Structure 1
Amino acid sequence: MASKKGNRIIVTLACTECRERNYTTEKNRKNDQGRLELNKYCPRCRAHRLHRETK
């Protein structure tokens, strides 16, 4: 029996400036094959920065 969330995986987002891993989120493997990039607040930098998916 297949899993209910077969295509959704948990990814970690890291700040591009300070490289701190601040957020975790889910993404659909079929719809988003590349690395996820979101503009999020970084508490270490105290500003909104681009956060990129890490391995």
Structure 2
Amino acid sequence: MAKRKNARVTVLLECKDCIRNSEKEGSTGISRYITEKNGHNTPNPLELRKFCPYCYKYTIHGEIKK
């Protein structure tokens, strides 16, 4: 049987509001999540709404480079 090419890629998602606040005010931290995406189907950077414990609300988390 032929071997499959691994299309799953591990990505880091980082809160965009925490990044903005850390530059202005010195935030306590930056919320990050680890997830996987299919690199063939979604070549663009991933953005999801996730809960940020530092902002204490649901915010947009964008993909960052490792």
What range is the shorter-chain TM-score in?
Answer: 0.7 to 0.9
Name the structure with the higher strand share.
1
- Deviations along 1:1-55, one digit per CA (max 9) or x if unpaired, are 85x6711010000001113242000000000000000000001100000000001
Q: Supply the AA of the counterpart residue of 2:15.
A: C
Alignment correspondent of 2:38: 28
Q: TM-score, normalised by structure 1?
A: 0.86
Alignment correspondent of 2:17: 17
2-structure distance, mates of 1:5, 1:46: 39
Q: TM-score, normalised by structure 2?
A: 0.73
Which structure has the larger Rg?
Answer: 2
Count matched residues.
54
Cα RMSD after superposing both structures:
1.8
Structure 1 gap ranges (5+):
none
Runs of 4 or more consecutive aligned structure 1 residues displaced over 6 Å after TM superposition: none
Name the structure with the higher helix share.
2
- % identity of equivalent residues: 41
Structure 2 gap ranges (5+):
20-29
